[in-house]
Structure 1
Amino acid sequence: MAKRVVLFGGSFNPSAKHHRVLAEALASQFDHVIVIPCGLRPDKLTTNDTLSTDRAAMVDMNFRGIPNLEVDLFDLENDDFTRTFELSEKYKHLGEVWHFVGTDLICGGGKGESVIEREWGHGPEIWKDLNFAVAERVGFPYDPSDLPPHSIVLKPPYSGSSTEIREKILKHRPIGDLVVPEVGAYIDRHNLYLGRLPRASTMLNLGSPRIKIVVDPENPKAVAISHSLSNLEDTENPNLIVVVGGDGTMLHAIRNFWRLRVPFLGINTGHRGFLLNNLEVEKIREILSEGLIAWQSPLLYVESKRGDGSVNSGLAFNDAWAERASGSTAWFTVKINGTTKIQKLVGDSILVSTPAGSTAYARAMGATPLLVGTPALILVGSNIGEPPGWKSAYIPADAEVEILNADSSLSNKRPILGFVDSVSVGEVRSMTIRASRTAFVELAYLPERDLAEKLMEIQFPVQKEDQ
């Protein structure tokens, strides 16, 4: 018997308790629930008023822990609105596909006048052919004749509206009964739905720390610190990830746990530890209960196209790059937002870095690093022969960079390799790199931690005096 898979799509702006109740009801009746927050919607402009990164974070928080449920962020990542008939095609390999709808969308179906039939793409066809799980929405009573031909009705009726929540926030009214605590805290900390511009940093007050510890097991000092914090650990429901080690440990933690959507606090027991804090061991517990500053840092979304036409997608916290795969220098074409900026760049490699990753390979290649939170990306080359004198450039944070192999010869004498956070994706024909629309982390620092001063230390290391 085929698995029954139900798709739960929506704007989720914000994702709220009534969405979670519906998802739990679906999970009790179907084998698998897939929540799909939509991207850009021409018919629902309020969806576009909230950053996709914020909607993605709140969706992950709201649905966490529901069995047999996954959140698929592909629409948000692509800034797209995939129609219902296309979703059926996309997921049909998983089993028998069902679509969740409320009665507000099926009222009038008995007369061929439902919203689905009148306004949705291929409306009459999907009404007749697709499977629908229908929930009665308070305020939208229905006649049984309104139900689609292939449908079931969920009980009990539900109420709730994201519009109502946004309006309450704007009027400074409490919403604690409408959203889960994690979503409420996120909205409050980021000042969402108040008509204010987004901020690169926010104040983080944990109250009672519930931490998940990630430690460098090869560093005795790091292991000792982690043991001293073990009674604060809550691996099931953390509100902070404490990383004890060096920048490499932080990178490992981010790769594995960014979708927990809680800030990362680094405790440096390594070398420079640009992404971490230098803390006195005896004060760590006290600091965890005090206020911190959380800086938002995007991950890079990278699509690598191979010679056979297949595309590999991945995320990078630090950087992504293409480099020569043979003894000959590589030829690259560089496009930004679809416009060719360098027709033929001759060199060993070219790299795109986030500000948080700019103290790593980007700096080693000659670029001046940026502060975490700077609204820019770095583009830098290594051993560049052409164009003469070109080394690096700062580009807008929302720019899309395309790096192509400019060697168009049939023999492909100058192959290039792609790397995403130092992980090889093999030989590529092109790489498209931009800030992710769904993936980011928040890096927590002490209020007195001067990131600019740390950057100065890295660029101007103290030299030992001659003996």
Structure 2
Amino acid sequence: MSSPRIAFLASSAAPAQQALAELTARYGQWQPEQADVLCPLGGDGFMLQTLHRHGDLGLPVFGLKLGTVGFLMNQHRPEDDLCQRLAGGQPAHLHPLEMTAFTAGGEQVSERAYNDVSMLRQTRQAAHIGIDLNGQERLPELVGDGVLVASPAGSTAYNYSAHGPVLPLGSQTIALTPLAAYRPRRWRGAILKANTVVRFRVLDPVKRPVSVTADSHETRDVLQVTIVQSQRHVSLLFDPEHNLEERILNEQFLS
């Protein structure tokens, strides 16, 4: 069996650049468009950059942790045979969130998010946001710092720090989580079916402007944002002993 054609992609961090030189010398290097598998070297931030840039290629992705945070990455073990690890990798299928935003300037912006889409106040004034699900108003007015929608893979990131639920991978759910809600004070969010169409309406955009961020892509002065989970997916590969599903499960038992 021939070795896979690997496209190594590295962050600017020194350890990632050093690993890039060593790995390409050992396994060769292919452009993403000609490769069988993508191998980003870095942290979770660089993994998300890789998915945004090359996710449409439909290639499996095997990340190696050479950054600060590596929840979506595998351990970098230079002594191991990478081709054998790739052959034994277990896939985790991630369905990104598709976001469409309309701004006060008349723009329509579409972005994809593998972790979360978050609405955040732009000033010291609390945001006032209405929430509709599948075209039906569910919360007339949320007052607070904002609100987010997270995928299962992203539920352990910003969503978790905002006291949102950790969602099992493959659960066909998404998390709707308020950010420092002032009213209604006892509302802690909701777990929704993955095919739910979520719409946020900014109720006072002049006095209380709001921005939206899809992963790291920010759009300011939004009036309305619609979010739905994509039918398309990307496949991340993980070593069997430390796959993503097990990591997410472990997060639910951390104190």
Superposition TM-score, scaled by structure 1 size: 0.51
CA apart distance, 1:371 = 3.4
After superposition, the Cα gap between the structure-2 partners of 1:291 and 1:264, relative to the gap in structure 1 and judged at 3 Å, is same
Could you report, residue by residue, the CA deviation over 1:263-314 in whole angstroms, capped at 9, with x for unpaired residues? Answer: 1111112334111112422114243452221111112111111124432112
Taking the aligned partners of 2:197 and 2:164, their CA distance within structure 1 comes to 19
State percent identity of aligned pairs: 29
1:434 to 225, 228, 240: 228
Q: Kindly report which structure 2 residues correspond to 1:1-400, keeping only aligned pairs within 5 A, or say none.
A: 208-220=3-15, 222-230=16-24, 231-235=27-31, 236-288=33-85, 290-400=87-197
CA apart distance, 1:211 = 0.8
1:330·1:415 contact (CA, 8 Å) conserved in 2?
yes
After superposition, the Cα gap between the structure-2 partners of 1:277 and 1:289, relative to the gap in structure 1 and judged at 3 Å, is closer
2:168·2:249 contact (CA, 8 Å) conserved in 1?
no
Superposition TM-score, scaled by structure 2 size: 0.90
Paired residues in the alignment total: 252
CA apart distance, 1:448 = 2.3
Higher helix proportion, which one? Answer: 1
Taking the aligned partners of 1:386 and 1:427, their CA distance within structure 2 comes to 22
1:320·1:422 contact (CA, 8 Å) conserved in 2?
no
2:169·2:248 contact (CA, 8 Å) conserved in 1?
no
Taking the aligned partners of 1:306 and 1:286, their CA distance within structure 2 comes to 47
1:415 to 202, 205, 209: 209
Residue 444 (str. 1) matches residue 237 (str. 2): yes
Unaligned regions of 5+ residues in structure 2, if any? Answer: none
Letter in 2 for 1:415: P
Taking the aligned partners of 1:225 and 1:371, their CA distance within structure 2 comes to 32
Higher strand proportion, which one? Answer: 2
CA apart distance, 1:415 = 1.8
After superposition, the Cα gap between the structure-2 partners of 1:437 and 1:285, relative to the gap in structure 1 and judged at 3 Å, is closer
CA apart distance, 1:249 = 1.1
After superposition, the Cα gap between the structure-2 partners of 1:397 and 1:277, relative to the gap in structure 1 and judged at 3 Å, is same
Could you report, residue by residue, the CA deviation over 1:441-462 in whole angstroms, capped at 9, with x for unpaired residues? Answer: 1111122224354235556669
Taking the aligned partners of 2:86 and 2:227, their CA distance within structure 1 comes to 38
SS in 2 for 1:358: helix
Larger relative contact order, structure 1 or 2 (CA cutoff 8 Å, min sep 6):
2
Letter in 2 for 1:225: A
SS in 2 for 1:407: coil
Quote the residue 1:145 is aligned against. none
Letter in 2 for 1:233: Q
After superposition, the Cα gap between the structure-2 partners of 1:309 and 1:277, relative to the gap in structure 1 and judged at 3 Å, is same
Taking the aligned partners of 1:215 and 1:281, their CA distance within structure 2 comes to 15
After superposition, the Cα gap between the structure-2 partners of 1:448 and 1:387, relative to the gap in structure 1 and judged at 3 Å, is same
CA apart distance, 1:392 = 2.2
SS in 2 for 1:257: helix
4+ long deviations beyond 6 Å: none
Letter in 1 for 2:52: R
SS in 2 for 1:229: helix
After superposition, the Cα gap between the structure-2 partners of 1:431 and 1:207, relative to the gap in structure 1 and judged at 3 Å, is farther
CA apart distance, 1:333 = 0.5
2:13·2:42 contact (CA, 8 Å) conserved in 1?
no
After superposition, the Cα gap between the structure-2 partners of 1:265 and 1:335, relative to the gap in structure 1 and judged at 3 Å, is same
Taking the aligned partners of 2:157 and 2:71, their CA distance within structure 1 comes to 10
Instruction: Please say which structure displays the higher CA radius of gyration.
Output: 1
Taking the aligned partners of 2:87 and 2:215, their CA distance within structure 1 comes to 33
Taking the aligned partners of 1:313 and 1:448, their CA distance within structure 2 comes to 37
